[in-house]
Amino acid sequence: MRIADSVLYVGVEDLTIDLFEGQYAVPNGVTYNSYLIEDEKIALMDSVDARKTEEWLQNLDRALNGKTPRFFIISHLEPDHSGSILAAAEKYPEMQLVMTAKALSMLPQFLPASLTARAVAVKENETLCLGAHTLRFLTAPMVHWPEVMVTYDEEDHVLFSADAFGRFGTMNPDEEWLPEARRYYFNIVGKYGNPVQTLLRKAAGLDIRVICPLHGPVLRDDLPAVLEKYQIWSSYQPESKGVLVAFGSLHGNTAGAAKYMAELLRAKGEKVALVDLARDDMSLALSMAFRYDRLVLAASTYDGGFFPKMEDFLLHLKAKAFQKRKVALIENGSWAPAAAKAMKAYLEQMKDIVFCENTVTIKSRVSEENKKQIAVLADELMN
């Protein structure tokens, strides 16, 4: 597949992996992207997960058509991209490895230390001439590992963006970009808003016409909209007005209260996502919490604490630096309700969380009084 005049796609699809990074469901699979820049000196851009080494080498063979890459640009050492470096390095012994100094120092953790003798470290803004193409290297530390860099092809105006701008799912442009790009961003990169902002500032100085990420489709249409999403996400601003109502319920009463809250909010014209934390995908719930400006948490008290999946959700939110949102709490307990206080203790560790003044306490079944309280809470969320 040709990406630009002299840029070829040589990556692979992985449709059989059960969990990406050992935890994220990828119903449409994931791709490990790799590219070739054809010039007097050929540059190979990144490798793929060890699950797909053979297929990748075949793609490379076909695209190279008897030629040999001169440079192997390595933007990130995480195993989904470094898993096949050794195979290519052995196949093309003259190829020089190019990476940041940090990557070079980490290389022996992932690959035989002997490879470092074939590697050269590049600095911020350093360039490499392939012939007609000049590659410019920009470091991107902590997007989302310390050794990351991105590469800008000045000739074709292509940004090879490492894991930034990636998406779960295949390269298929018919798959909508936004939902899975959002879930990918907040779960994979989300904690590192400031480093992403730094990268965006560097990108703003370039005339980028194509973005080649390490996962998912190549981006060339509507790049301003894509960059705007990254700007919003990395500054932890809500993407739109709306409410995520997330619940954890043992016997269904708290679930009923959450659904009632969702109904009331929808009747007021709010966009609402309703998530059952025991059944729905946690990574999707997390991305919805970041998408909207308000959050309702409803949980049963459980052994003096609260519904474990809700605790898990709060741990995830905290780990990904959840902040700047308005939150309403609903708790349930049959003898000593304790969920709201415990949930609040987690949320208080996050930045700029504004709590609704009212908290609804249900004691087993949702009473008529509780319904009135939920209506008051819904009103308070609207202000």
Min dist. Cβ of residue 309 to ligand FMN (A) = 12
Contact partner, 78, from Fe ion, ligand FMN, none, Cβ < 5-8 Å per class = Fe ion
Binding to ligand FMN by CB under 6 A, coded x per residue (else -) over 228-257, reads ---------------------xxxxxxx--
- Dihedral of CA atoms 7, 206, 75, 170 in degrees, nearest 10, equals -60
**What's the CA gap between 219 and 287, in Å, rounded?**
21
The vertex-106 CA angle with 68 and 322, nearest 5°, equals 110
Under the binding rule (CB under 6 A), the answer on residue 361 touching ligand FMN is no
Which does residue 302 touch among ligand FMN, Fe ion, none (CB within 5 to 8 A, set by kind)?
A: ligand FMN
Q: Which long-range contacts (CB under 8 A, 24 or more apart) does 375-378 make?
A: 375/264, 377/261, 377/296, 377/328, 377/330, 378/261, 378/264, 378/265, 378/268
39 binding Fe ion? (CB under 5 A): no
Cα–Cα dist 174/80, whole Å: 24
> 21 vs 380, which CB is nearer to Fe ion?
21
Angle between helix 308-319 and helix 282-291 axes, rounded to 10 deg: 60
CB of 346 to Fe ion, least distance (A): 27
Q: At what angle do helices 223-234 and 177-184 cross, to 10 degrees?
A: 30
Tell me the closest approach of the beta carbon of residue 281 to ligand FMN, in angstroms.
21
Which one, 167 or 309, has the nearer CB to ligand FMN?
309
Whose structure tokens read 């990254």? Answer: 230
Assess contact for 71 and 130: CB atoms under 8 A: yes
> For residue 90, what are the CA distances in angstroms to 57, 70, 94, 95, 253?
11, 13, 9, 9, 61
**Beta carbon nearer to ligand FMN, 288 or 310:** 310
Tell me which of Fe ion, ligand FMN, none is bound by residue 163, counting a contact when its beta carbon lies within the kind-specific cut-off of 5 to 8 angstroms: Fe ion
Residues 296-355 that bind ligand FMN (CB under 6 A): 300-304, 332-337
Kindly tell me the burial class for residue 242, based on how many C-beta atoms sit within 10 Å of its own C-beta (0-12, 13-18, 19 or more): middle
Other C-beta atoms within 10 Å of 48: how many?
28
Complex with Fe ion: residue 11 or 248, whichever CB lies closer: 11
Binding mask 73-92 for Fe ion (x = CB under 5 A): -----x-x------------
Supply the Cα-derived Rg of the chain in whole angstroms. 24
Does residue 163 interact with Fe ion by CB under 5 A?
yes
Cβ nearer to Fe ion, comparing 34 with 301: 34
The item of Fe ion, ligand FMN, none sharing an interface with residue 300, based on CB under 5 to 8 Å by kind, is ligand FMN
Among residue numbers 198 through 237, which ones bind Fe ion (CB under 5 A)?
214
* Contact residues: Fe ion, CB under 5 A: 78, 80, 163, 214
* Contact residues: ligand FMN, CB under 6 A: 249-255, 300-304, 332-337, 364
